[in-house]
């Protein structure tokens, strides 16, 4: 019975991964990340994160809200732009997970691309990020879906 239960649980998990994305949620996330890029560029990105926000980097180290703000302000000093592509979304009751790829570029021709999974919470003022996980560089995603 335990083996049958394990097989059923595995099958359900696989089926959920194969489900089609909610198109409206994808559009909401794409609009959110357009605002996210603009907020990074104008320095107002903290308006799009929750007070209980924290981030986990590739090495597994946890960074709380204040540390994240310091890192972002230092990283974006003197840069030209941020461009985020929504790779995949999953929905929950009042939260969603967005797998994104963000490329930052500086005037000296340097760029940095990060792969990130954000967990977002729906609030009265719109979506806000409360958890961020920086993903390995070799994470394999297919090409982004056409808009």
Q: What is the CATH number of the domain that holds 113?
A: 3.10.450.50
Q: Is the pLDDT of residue 75 over 90?
A: no
Q: Is the pLDDT of residue 9 over 60?
A: no
What would the mean pLDDT of 62-90 be, rounded to a whole number?
89
pTM: 0.78
Q: Is the pLDDT of residue 22 over 50?
A: yes
Neighbours of 134 (CB within 10 A): 17
Task: Give just the sign of the alpha carbon dihedral 44, 45, 50, 51.
Answer: negative
Residue spans of alpha helices (H) in the chain: 2-17, 23-42, 65-75
pLDDT score at 98? 95
What would the mean pLDDT of 48-76 be, rounded to a whole number?
91
In the chain, how many domains are there? 1
Structural domain contains residue 141 = no
Contact 54, 65 (CB under 8 A): yes
Give the range of the structural domain holding residue 106, as residue numbers without chain letter: 22-134
């Amino acid at each position: 019975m335990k083996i049958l239960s394990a097989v059923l649980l595995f099958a359900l998990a696989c089926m959920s991964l194969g489900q089609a994305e909610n198109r409206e949620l994808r559009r909401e996330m794409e609009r959110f990340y357009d605002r996210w890029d603009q907020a990074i560029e104008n320095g107002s990105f903290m308006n799009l994160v929750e007070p209980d926000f924290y981030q986990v980097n590739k090495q597994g180290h946890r960074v709380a809200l204040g540390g994240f703000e310091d890192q972002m302000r230092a990283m974006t000093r003197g840069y030209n732009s941020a461009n985020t592509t929504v790779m995949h979304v999953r929905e929950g009751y009042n939260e969603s997970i967005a797998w994104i790829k963000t490329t930052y570029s500086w005037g000296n021709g340097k760029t940095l691309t990060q792969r990130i999974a954000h967990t977002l919470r729906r609030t009265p003022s719109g979506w806000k990020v409360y958890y961020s996980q920086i993903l390995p560089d070799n994470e394999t995603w297919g090409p982004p879906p056409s808009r």
